[in-house]
Chains A and B, each alone.
Chain A
């Protein structure tokens, strides 16, 4: 079961993803995009995501691209080794830009 938590700090926000990032997140992601509209800097924390499939990656790409199009500063951190492996296969850093992946 996927859930998320927002921790606000002025114009910045950290969003903690919790659970599997797969097709079940499709509708929740729409909600997340709406919630993140109000912030300038968005930090996506994936430390509690242990599973991601191709659909989940697609949802993450769409989220980052939508936010970038609105000139928001996006960062991704806390990627777990299992998820990092999937990101490597799909070459996610080349797609989203290496600069958004932070420790």
Chain B
């Protein structure tokens, strides 16, 4: 009697567990779809440059983030960030960060102002959740060829000089991660880019990727890879970086999310012709 009851209860429990597992699996997949769709949004076609973003989560869902926001006069605002933690909790905060970026990008004049507004909007929630986000925000202006940028505790992107065939870090812009101090004001820096220059924005998952001997990929390997492929387009550069990391790690499971945004400056288009054809087509 007891045994039968136990079997019945046990049967119910395992069937409930099974149902629960199915629900969880389905919901994780749905959450992953939402995140993938939001993260892999449309890449804007920008004047006189090409841009690409790649994000590979360490788990089913990631906490890294990148986004683009078209501004007036063909300018584009770029953001890349790393939310503390991994998996579903980080993904939830990443969605919050995306919302803050989208509304701040609309109403602010430059990247430093965007980060200040995002920090103001997110700080209270992040402090409550004992979390933070590192962010790097930049505006690319194809008319002046100037990249204006600000950082919230994020690593500086690498600048690949196409003509000189050398790689350097962008001059440091000071700023503390989002979620630390409510009224933090971010420093803004600018750099003039030339034709064939590439800016490689990335998260620490790339340089901290480890092989089986626990060696890290490090910035030097990343720089070498970028130098080897500096003549390629952004899609190819991205693929080669991912490939170089995979070759180096030799199948060791990825510990952290890997995310990169690549901006490459192309030859200046002839604006007189563009304007003329625009007027012609209107007529």
Q: A-side interface residues toward B, CB under 8 Å?
A: 22-23, 51, 53-55, 57-58, 61-62, 82, 86, 89-91, 94-95
Q: How far is the CA of A89 from the CA of B135 in the complex (A)?
A: 11
Contacts of A91 in B (CB 8 A): 153, 174-177
With A90-B177, A91-B174, A94-B176 given, is the CB distance from A55 to B85 under 8 Å?
yes
Q: Which residues of B contact A55 (CB under 8 A)?
A: 84-86
- Smallest CB separation, A18 vs chain B (Å): 15
> Are A53 and B174 CB-contacts (below 8 A) given A22-B255, A89-B153?
no
Chain B residues whose CB sits within 8 angstroms of the CB of A61 once the complex forms: 132
Q: Is the CB of A86 within 8 A of B204?
A: yes
Considering only residues 244-273 of chain B, those with a C-beta below 8 Å from chain A are 255-256
Using a CB–CB cutoff of 8 Å, the interface residues on chain B facing chain A are 82-86, 130-132, 134, 153-155, 174-177, 180-181, 204, 208, 216, 255-256
Does A53 contact B208, Cβ atoms closer than 8 Å? yes
Known: A54-B83, A55-B85. 5 other contacts (CB 8 A): A23-B85, A55-B84, A58-B130, A89-B155, A89-B204
Which of chain B's residues have a CB closer than 8 A to the CB of A58?
Answer: 84-85, 130-132
A94–B151 Cα distance when bound, in Å, is 15
Q: Is the Cβ of B204 less than 8 Å from the Cβ of A53?
A: yes
Chain B CB within 10 A, most for which of A23, A54, A62, A89: A54
Residues of B within 8 A of A23 (CB): 85-86
Name 14 interchain pairs, CB-CB below 8 A, sorted by A: A22-B255, A51-B216, A53-B255, A54-B84, A55-B84, A55-B85, A58-B132, A61-B132, A62-B130, A86-B204, A89-B154, A89-B155, A91-B153, A95-B176
CB-based contact A95/B85 at 8 Å: no
Contact partners of A86 in chain B: CB under 8 A? 204
Looking at the assembled complex, report how far the CB atom of B152 sits from the nearest CB atom of chain A, in whole angstroms.
Answer: 9
Pairwise interchain contact A90-B130, C-beta atoms closer than 8 A = no
Given that A86-B204, A89-B154 are known contacts, is A54 also in contact with B130, CB under 8 Å in the complex?
A: no
Alpha-carbon gap, A62 to B154, bound state (A): 19
Check A53/B155 contact, CB under 8 A, given A58-B85, A91-B176. no
- Residues from chain B with Cβ under 8 Å of A89 in the complex: 153-155, 204
